[in-house]
């Protein structure tokens, strides 16, 4: 008897990792469209390269473009009538509409592949470098309606396979590269062109996080790793992680608490950028050896290190000024030493010229401004609800209002449905 497959949390949630069509922040991922085409085009180019009838014509085209030097034109070749012209190349490669000189570049990729001169690409999103080279040429052609310059300049959120995320974090996370898949829900990344520049992993905590709510209503951002080439990539991932909280609760409900951590020596520069979005430092959690459910965990896991806890969401703790100041007092000397070693004296001077108390006061002011905005939004929403209730009352007779008012005491849900039904019947 076949065993029934049980859906894992990762299978249930991971598809929501990046903004969907219609959601704020959604961006069409051209790579999803262009990579299969690039693979198909490269396969056709290889077959044409090996075609004995087509090869002489191809070699002549490539030699004229300076991409291939192995062909020597005979004296009577110019009088030969050829079956193809360069205008036929797009159709032969299966990409009609593209300019022929882009096709010549694609055959140049084949030539590089055959000669073993394929360049190295740092952190490619797929392993097949020649396919990436062909995809890059296709994007240059504007065949997909997106200019190449625009595409490679803008960072994009993408779904990342959990195995790819694991290897990327292992390579790029400076302090805690090892992690496990327990409770994993999402693995996402930031992509620039065909390069993966940052990756994040998040899910439910593997142990009980807080008595404030069920662990399955907590979304924990456990790892962010970046190659350091794009400023703000880590904050972009953390911001998206916060946006996923409403979709990440137990049994389809909204999540209640978002939590993440920064090591004390880092002081959370990635997360301080998100204070204006409601993320706040809440306490310092001391490191401890694995115990209980985590007794078999590695000694270099997250809970072993002392860290600053950051929270957001409906039941998040308040902004902890003292914890943030303590974290800065630990991190400032470490950061200044690194900046001076790299020759960035101006940035080091900026840190030394302001005290931790002054910087935290500015952070707290930003957080208070965010809270004030949230209160105003709630007031506007409440005002709209009240105005709708007033409209519903006007549409009902006095006798109907009395009946519904009495029903409110017995079955408020039914009373609400009657009010709504009256509204749709008499107003719409």
| pLDDT higher than 60, residue 120 | yes
Q: Are residues 313 and 250 in the same domain?
A: yes
Q: Are residues 395 and 367 in the same domain?
A: no
Q: Are residues 317 and 340 in the same domain?
A: yes
Residue 294: CB atoms within 10 A of its CB come to 18
Give the C-alpha separation, 89 to 61, whole Å. Answer: 10
| pLDDT higher than 80, residue 284 | yes
pLDDT of residue 353: 84
**Which of 375, 396, 411 is the endpoint of a domain?**
375
| pLDDT higher than 50, residue 72 | no
pLDDT band at 277 (very low <50, low <70, confident <90, very high): very high
Distance (Å) of CA 318 to CA 156, 184, 199, 246, 345? 32, 27, 28, 20, 35
pLDDT of residue 260: 94
Q: Are residues 333 and 222 in the same domain?
A: yes
What is the chain's mean pLDDT, rounded? Answer: 80
Domain annotation covers residue 120: yes
Give the C-alpha separation, 88 to 108, whole Å. Answer: 17
| pLDDT higher than 50, residue 75 | no
pLDDT of residue 420: 65
Q: Are residues 139 and 164 in the same domain?
A: no
Domain annotation covers residue 381: yes
Q: Are residues 364 and 389 in the same domain?
A: no
pLDDT digits (tens, 9 = 90+) for 307-323: 899 999 989 999 999 99
Structure tokens that stand for 312 in this block: 């957001």
pLDDT digits (tens, 9 = 90+) for 168-227: 998 888 667 677 778 899 999 998 877 889 999 999 987 778 778 888 889 999 999 998
pLDDT of residue 10: 87
Q: Taking residues 94-120, what's their average pLDDT?
A: 85
Q: Are residues 99 and 189 in the same domain?
A: no
**Which of 86, 115, 150 is the endpoint of a domain?**
150
Q: Are residues 312 and 411 in the same domain?
A: no
Residue pair 194/135 in contact (Cβ under 8 Å)? The answer is yes
Give the C-alpha separation, 275 to 297, whole Å. Answer: 32
pLDDT digits (tens, 9 = 90+) for 337-375: 877 888 877 777 877 788 999 999 999 999 999 999 988
pLDDT of residue 74: 47
Q: Are residues 184 and 126 in the same domain?
A: no
Give the C-alpha separation, 425 to 428, whole Å. Answer: 6
Q: Are residues 366 and 390 in the same domain?
A: no
pTM: 0.70
User: What share of the chain in percent tops pLDDT 70?
Assistant: 77
Q: Which residue has the higher pLDDT, 36 or 387?
A: 36
Q: Are residues 371 and 390 in the same domain?
A: no
pLDDT of residue 76: 43
Residue 53 lies in domain: 28-150
Buried b or exposed e, range 402-411, using 16+ CB within 10 angstroms:
eebeebeeee
Give the torsion sign (CA, 363, 368, 373, 375).
Answer: positive
Q: Are residues 356 and 264 in the same domain?
A: yes
Nearest to 312 by CA among 418, 405, 410, 202: 202
Domain annotation covers residue 13: no
Residue linked to tokens 């707290």:
364
Structure tokens that stand for 344 in this block: 């960035």
The domain total for the chain is 3
Residues 6+ apart with CB under 8 A from 180: 206, 297
Q: Taking residues 16-37, what's their average pLDDT?
A: 75
Structure tokens that stand for 190 in this block: 């930031």
């Amino acid at each position: 008897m076949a065993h029934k497959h049980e859906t894992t949390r990762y299978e249930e949630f991971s598809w929501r990792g990046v903004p969907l069509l219609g959601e704020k922040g959604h961006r069409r991922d051209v790579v999803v469209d262009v990579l299969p085409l690039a693979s198909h085009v490269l396969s056709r180019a290889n077959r044409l390269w090996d075609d004995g009838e087509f090869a002489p014509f191809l070699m002549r085209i490539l030699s004229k473009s300076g991409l291939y030097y192995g062909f020597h034109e005979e004296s009577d070749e110019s009088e030969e009538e050829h079956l193809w012209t360069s205008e036929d190349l797009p159709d032969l490669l299966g990409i009609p509409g593209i300019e022929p000189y882009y096709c010549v570049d694609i055959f140049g990729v084949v030539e590089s592949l055959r000669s073993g001169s394929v360049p190295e690409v740092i952190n490619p999103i797929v392993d097949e470098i020649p396919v990436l080279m062909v995809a890059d040429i296709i994007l240059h052609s504007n065949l997909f309606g997106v200019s190449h310059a625009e595409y490679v300049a803008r960072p994009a959120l993408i779904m990342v396979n959990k195995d790819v995320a694991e290897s990327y974090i292992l390579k790029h996370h400076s302090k805690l590269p090892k992690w496990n898949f327990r409770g994993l829900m999402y693995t996402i990344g930031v992509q620039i062109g065909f390069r993966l520049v940052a990756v994040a992993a998040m899910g439910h905590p593997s142990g009980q996080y807080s008595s404030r709510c069920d662990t399955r209503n907590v979304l924990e951002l456990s790892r962010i790793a970046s190659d350091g080439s794009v400023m703000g990539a880590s904050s972009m991932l953390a911001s998206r992680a916060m946006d996923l909280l409403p979709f990440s609760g137990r049994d389809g409900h909204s999540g209640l608490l978002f939590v993440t951590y920064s090591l004390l020596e880092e002081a959370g520069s990635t997360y301080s950028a998100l204070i204006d979005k409601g993320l706040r430092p809440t306490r310092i959690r001391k490191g401890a050896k694995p115990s209980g459910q985590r007794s078999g965990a590695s000694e270099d896991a997250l809970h072993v290190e002392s860290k600053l806890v950051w929270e957001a969401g409906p039941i998040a703790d308040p902004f902890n000024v003292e914890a943030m100041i303590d974290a800065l007092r630990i991190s400032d000397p470490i950061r200044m030493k690194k900046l001076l070693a790299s020759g960035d004296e101006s940035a080091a001077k900026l840190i030394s010229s302001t005290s931790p108390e002054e910087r935290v006061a500015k952070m707290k002011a930003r957080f208070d401004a965010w809270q004030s905005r949230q209160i105003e939004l709630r007031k506007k929403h409440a005002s709209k609800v009240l105005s709708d209730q007033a409209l519903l009352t006007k549409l009902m007779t006095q006798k109907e209002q009395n009946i519904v008012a009495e029903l409110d005491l017995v079955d408020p849900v039914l009373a609400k449905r009657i009010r709504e039904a009256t509204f749709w019947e008499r107003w719409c």
